Structure formats: C-alpha cells, structure tokens
Amino acid sequence: MADRPRKRSASITLVLIGAAALAGCSQETPSGSARAMYSTKDDCLRDWRDPAECEEVVERDQSGATRRSYYVGPSRSSSSTSRSWGSSSSSHSSGTVSRGGFGSSGHSHSSAS
C-alpha cells in the first residue's frame, strides 16, 4: 500500500456548510427547518440585508463559558421559498419580468438521481 498513490482527498475544508466552516452554512432548527449560519453579522447581512433577520447564537460549555458564537439567518422553511440566498430578500419586478416559469415539475418529484 505504502508505495501506491493515495486515492483519498488529502484534506477537506468547508467554507459554506458545516459547523466548522461557519461562513454561511445550514443547520436544523428545533422545528426541523433549515437556517443559514454565518461566522459574522456582516456575512449574514450580505445575504439577508435586514438586521432583524440575523440572529446571534452563543454556544456555551458546561461551565457557562462561551464555546463559540455565530449568526443565523431566517428559517428556510417551505414558507420562505420565495427568498433567495445571496441576493436581496425583496424582488423588484418590472413590467417585462415574469417569474415562476421553472419549478413546476419539481413540486411533485425530487430531481435526485
């Protein structure tokens, strides 16, 4: 084995998803809906713009000391699907722009394969 080329990744870093990355990842809330996680408030505001949408979360260890803190965006439940990450939370439709022309097939199937 020792002289054979390695076939696994040397290291794996995540910057968007995953608790370790904390630069804008997903988490499950107690209600089961997913929320975006950010390491700083600025990162959160870049996606959501409204300070009221960016909630600070402080995790503490058993002694009460701060283990880590981060920010989460609003709940990504099915009721919030009109929102888009990485862009404004409000759309500016003009007279020539129409929406909703993609997605109808996905409402009844997963696209996974």
Partner 1 sequence: MERELRTPRSNWREDCEAAGFLFHSIDGTYWDESRAYRFTWQEVDQLEAAAAELHARCLHAVDHIVRNGRYDQLAIPAAWHRRIADSWAKREPSLYGRFDFAFDGSGPPKLLEYNADTPTALLEASVVQWRWLEQAIRPGNADADQFNSLHEKLIANWRALAVTWSASTPVHFTCADSEEDRGNLDYLRDVALQAGVDARYIVIDDIGYDSANDRFVDADNVEISVLFKLYPWEWMVREEFGAHLLTARIRVIEPAWKMLLSNKGILPILWELNPDHRNLLPAYFEPGRIAGDYVVKPLLSREGENVELHRGSETLAAPGAYGGEGRIWQAYTDIPRFGDDYATLGAWIIGDAPAGVGVREDASPITRNTSRFVPHYFV
Which segment (10-18, 53-61, 66-74) binds partner 1 by CB under 8 A? 10-18
Half-sphere exposure of 64 (CA within 13 A, CB side): 0
**Cβ distance 54 to 88 under 8 Å?**
no
62 vs 20, 30, 49, 56, 72, CA distance in Å? 20, 20, 34, 20, 22
Separation CA 21–CA 102 (nearest Å): 32
Nearer to partner 1, 13 or 62 (CB): 13
Which segment (21-29, 52-60, 62-70) binds partner 1 by CB under 8 A? 21-29
Which residue from 12, 52, 58, 65 is in contact with partner 1, where contact means CB under 8 A? Answer: 12
Which residue from 31, 62, 79, 111 is in contact with partner 1, where contact means CB under 8 A? Answer: 111
Q: Phi and psi at residue 76, in whole multiples of 5°?
A: -95, 55
Residue 79 is a binding residue for partner 1 (CB under 8 A): no
Interface residues with partner 1 (CB under 8 A) are: 1-2, 4, 6-10, 12-21, 25-28, 34, 78, 81-88, 90-94, 96-113
